[in-house]
Chain A
Amino acid sequence: MAEKASPSSNSISLKTVDGKIFKVSPAIANQMLTIQPLIKDSDSSTIISLPDVAAFHLTKIIEYLEGKPAAAPSAVDAFEAQFVKDLSPEELKGLLIAVGYLKVNGLVDLMANTVAKLIENKSVEYVRKFFGVVNDFTPAEEAKCRQEHAWAFDGVDED
């Protein structure tokens, strides 16, 4: 939904699901591929509504896009390592979904990679719980599937 905001500088207004409005520069907004096509048709009075993104996540996304060093891969690595270090597993998961929805340059890979590390060498039950996925196999199907993948179940970590 769009609504009019008070005219200000050349910034883009993004509204999160919890009602907060963030003003960002077009350079930052352009790195969110999902809203990119809307930016050129927007003026300073347009508010783009992001119904799948909470304020916390948008804050982190903007923090990432504004803080990421422009050059020197080593500086980027250090910045990204610090960025994910401050986040809890729950926050990482929520942020991954938000950046997946907004298609944020660079951040999708970083979040996906970080979340992948959290489920490394974990049991099936742990992964279900972590992602909140419901087991929709029938008992017979699950037994067959586990048998098919029996080689994968040696020595997984404790949940």
Chain B
Amino acid sequence: MQWDIDSDLSIHEEENAAASFIFNHHQVDGALPFPFPLQTAPCGFVVTDAIDPDHPIIYVNTVFEMLTGYRAEEVLGRNCRFLKRRGPFEFQGELLNFRKDGSPLMNRLRLTSIFGDDEITHVIGIQFFTEADIDLGPVLGSAIKESAKSSDRFCSVLSSLRPFPVGDRNVTRGVCGIFQLSDKVISLKILAHLTPRDIASVGSVCRRLYELTKNEDLWRMMCQNAWGSETTRVLETVPGARRLGWGQLAMELTTLEAAAWSKQTVGGVVEPSRCKFSACAVGNRVVLFGGEGVNMQPMNDTFVLDLNSSNPEWQHVQVGSPPPGRWGHTLSCVNGSLLVVFGGCGTRGLLNDVFLLELDAKPPTWREISGLAPPLPRSWHSSCTLDGTKLIVSGGCADSGEVECPVLEILVAQHLLQDLIDHVAISLPGGRILIFGGSVAGLHSASQLYILDPTDEKRTWRILNVPGCPPRFAWGHSTCIVGGTRAIVLSGQTGEEWMLVDLHELSLASSAI
């Protein structure tokens, strides 16, 4: 049987949750063991742990917080006697207590024991607070003069938390103003809207803010606000990112100081051998579709490499109703695990058809989407996803020649990398763009990394030096971003033969594997 602690007891949903947690946790049976006068007046409510020798408070409601001026986090774990700290008083059913600001408060207290199996597990105190009609002399900071009649008791819930002198607002508010807000508001409503740098900087302001900036929920919320929920969701699927923690991850993705190249060999085979395939990531899995086989044979088969496994290997996946074979197409992932194939070149020329595959469906089946008014047929275009739900197709080769020069390409051409085609572009959290690879006619190394920060006033590409062993070749259609922090390059020794068991990886954060 569960306690019914209806809304009269508590004001907020989270309080309800806290209270029922306590009750359920200790498996207490039975209805409330005392007449509950809460239908007419909110009252202070305290639960203590009676098994602990000092009977520490484990729950207080908001009314208690308002009336006494103590916040829950200040009293949890303490014995109720702190309310008597202005002096010793005999217990007579009514207690003289004090608000946090020192003003007196009469507490008509009722204590009730709650039994577990055989012993008292909790003691509940219900307080009816009324104004104390005694003069104890002036108290620092107290501005309470009015006294409430008992019939107006419910309104005294809003009696002063921390009165401040009118006309001196800036001084009084200034000293502790921000900390009158709850930690939750400061942390999740204010700090979470800042950038990673700002949050780290705020941690040096004072001890309380330092503690607040250590909170992982804050960092997660910040990542979501700053980088979008899609990026956050992807990062969440990566075990390495979880181990690293949101705070560390935010720091590493901001500074890129942990970025490094590495190389690994995976098992399995992709047969028949091919080039001009397209690959993309679904969570921590790499999916490869189609490509050009021997004698310009267009392919339409699907392979998956699961990087979460301890010994990753390529596996051929049987998929029903495959699209016509093609190369130079794009494979993209939207909505988490929905794969989209667009365009490319098949036996009958350029294509502009769209196929969807839910990779985790049983059995997985391709589905053609028609009637979308698709873009012109093309190959060697680029596709990227927006908000995880929209597919943006740009550039590429059509029958009439090159089409629709996309914004990024213009930016690239104007600044530095005129002769780079089919390079890899990675959007980093915060809108920065990292590019490498592609076919290079100039002097640049294909594995040289360039970074552009669009928020920078001087919008220029700068070189990012990253240690480790870079690939000799990398192309946009054969590189994919896994888990938001790793670029997996499927590359060959010569750029002609594809050695799909050799992966080069650019890891943007430490230990993200």
Contacts and interface: CB of A to CB of B under 8 A. Distances in A.
Interface of A: 1-3, 17-19, 33-38, 41-42, 46-52, 54, 90, 93-94, 96-97, 100-101, 108-109, 112-113, 115-117, 119-124, 127-128, 131-137, 141-142, 145-146, 148-149, 151-154, 156
B485 to A, nearest CB: 17
A52 B180 contact: yes
Nearest to B151: A2
A97 B173 CA distance: 9
Contacts of B209: 133
A119 B202 contact: yes
Contacts of A90: 170
A133 B190 contact: no
B185 A100 contact: yes
Given A94-B173, A97-B173, A151-B254, 7 more contacts: A1-B144, A3-B146, A51-B159, A97-B181, A100-B185, A101-B161, A116-B190
B193 A116 contact: yes
B243 interface: no
Most chain A beta-carbon neighbours within 10 Å: one of B41, B143, B160, B182 = B160
B181 A35 contact: no
Interface in B100-159: 131, 143-144, 146-149, 152, 154-159
Interface in B169-211: 169-170, 173-182, 185, 189-191, 193-207, 209-210
Contact of B166 (A17, A128, A142): A17
Interface of B: 11-12, 40-42, 131, 143-144, 146-149, 152, 154-164, 166-167, 169-170, 173-182, 185, 189-191, 193-207, 209-210, 251, 254-255, 257
Contact of A115 (B149, B170, B190): B190
A142 B209 CA distance: 12
A17 B163 contact: yes
Contacts of A115: 190
13 contacts: A33-B11, A52-B162, A52-B163, A52-B164, A97-B173, A97-B178, A112-B189, A116-B191, A119-B198, A121-B197, A122-B198, A122-B201, A152-B200
Nearest to A151: B255
Contact of A152 (B42, B152, B198): B198
Contact of B204 (A51, A94, A113, A146): A146
A19 B166 CA distance: 9
A156 to B, nearest CB: 7
A112 B190 contact: yes
Nearest to B166: A18
Nearest to B147: A1
Nearest to B255: A151
Contacts of B257: 151
Contacts of A35: 158
A56 B202 CA distance: 29
Contacts of A47: 155
A149 B200 contact: yes
Given A1-B148, A100-B185, A132-B173, A38 B157 contact: yes
Given A1-B155, A108-B185, A149 B203 contact: yes
A135 to B, nearest CB: 6
A128 B156 contact: no
Contact of A128 (B167, B193, B206): B206
B201 A124 contact: yes
A132 B197 CA distance: 21
Given A17-B166, A52-B162, A90-B170, A36 B203 contact: no
A37 B42 contact: yes
B178 A133 contact: yes
A131 B163 contact: no
A128 B189 contact: no
Contacts of A136: 206-207
A36 B11 contact: yes
B193 A134 contact: no
Contacts of B173: 93-94, 97, 132
Given A52-B180, A100-B181, A135-B205, A120 B198 contact: yes
B202 A2 contact: no
Contact of B195 (A54, A101, A108, A121): A121
Contacts of B164: 17, 52
A51 B161 contact: yes
A55 to B, nearest CB: 9
8 smallest CB-CB distances across A and B, nearest first, come from: A2-B155, A132-B174, A152-B200, A112-B189, A51-B160, A2-B152, A116-B193, A1-B146
Contacts of A122: 198, 201
Contacts of B204: 124, 137, 142, 145-146, 149
A100 B98 CA distance: 24
B207 A137 contact: yes
B189 A109 contact: yes
A132 B178 contact: yes
B158 A34 contact: yes
Given A128-B206, A136-B207, A54 B194 contact: no
B251 A151 contact: yes
A48 B189 CA distance: 27
Contact of A151 (B163, B193, B197, B202): B197
Contacts of B162: 51-52
Contacts of A46: 152, 155
A3 B146 CA distance: 9
B237 to A, nearest CB: 26
A108 B189 contact: yes
A39 to B, nearest CB: 10
Given A94-B169, A132-B178, A49 B158 contact: yes
Nearest to A124: B204
